[in-house]
Amino acid sequence: GDYDKIFSTTFEYLHAATLLHDDLVDGAKLRRGKPVANSIWGNSTAVLVGDFLLARGLSIAAATGKLKVIKVIAGVTESMSQGEIHQLMRKGALDLTETEYMEIIRRKTALLFEGACRTSAFIANASKREEKAVSGYGYNMGMAFQMADDLLDYTLDTNALGKEVGADLKEGKITLPVIYALKKAGRTDRHRMESIIKNNKFSFREFKLLIELLEKYGGIAYTKKCAKEHIEKGKRALLVFKPSKTRRILEYIADYALVRKA
């Protein structure tokens, strides 16, 4: 059958389901510059449609009888939920560690990317070596993608971003730029940052000051460096494959993850 189309649909359904649920849990107002689903149709509808998409995605996968792929998809779904729960439990926690942050993004994003790539290896009857290579590419892409996404919160360009400035921070998401800067800052500046972060109704001026402090203590530069390292690692994994148009496209996609604006 058209396994590539079938499993692409499955992963899109899973992803869409998580976005519907996430926006509700996070209290987000915008997604890609548009009002979130629950603000238009209500919380109940958003939850139920998310549940339906999740069930439908798993149902489509199950109908193929490809047990290995079904196990991957079920594992991804479980991991994403665990990542989101961990993030929710540590909402607004200023003592969140870098290790915890990495575990959260590993579960909620990196394993989704890895699962999609591993599935492509299964349906292409790839060798174990090739499966490991594309899975490594997907995993590292996912880690970098989430770090780059977290960096986007610290931009002052609302139009390019497609969501409210500082939205993630207002939702209580403590991410790598903040974790690193808090660790490096002296007592006075640390206190200034903590005061802004604790007040989820911070002003534009306060948010601008926070960005300046994140830059001063290397939080933004460090996050960019970590994301770039994962991209390079992911691209190195692809060297298992001979040079080709397909490999170049995957490399371009990886590079784009670092420079996207929304």
List the CATH code of the domain at 66-259. 1.10.600.10
Q: How confident is the model at residue 128 (pLDDT cuts 50, 70, 90)?
A: very high
Closest CA to 223 of 186, 253, 183: 183
Q: How confident is the model at residue 163 (pLDDT cuts 50, 70, 90)?
A: low
Closest CA to 167 of 18, 23, 45: 23
Per-residue pLDDT, 159: 52
Where is 34: in which H helix or E strand? strand 34-35
Q: Does 236 score more than 60 pLDDT? A: yes
Stronger pLDDT, 213 or 36, i.e. the higher one: 213
Instruction: Give the global pTM.
Output: 0.92
Which range among 144-158, 199-213, 223-237, 248-262 shows the weakest confidence by mean pLDDT? 144-158
Domain boundaries, the chain: 66-259
Per-residue pLDDT, 33: 74
Average pLDDT over residues 48-57: 94
Beta carbons within 10 angstroms of residue 115's beta carbon: 27
3-state secondary structure of 80: helix
Q: How confident is the model at residue 1 (pLDDT cuts 50, 70, 90)?
A: low
Per-residue pLDDT, 162: 57
Average pLDDT over residues 127-143: 98
Tell me how far apart the alpha carbons of residues 7 and 115 are, in angstroms, rounded to a whole number.
11
Per-residue pLDDT, 87: 94
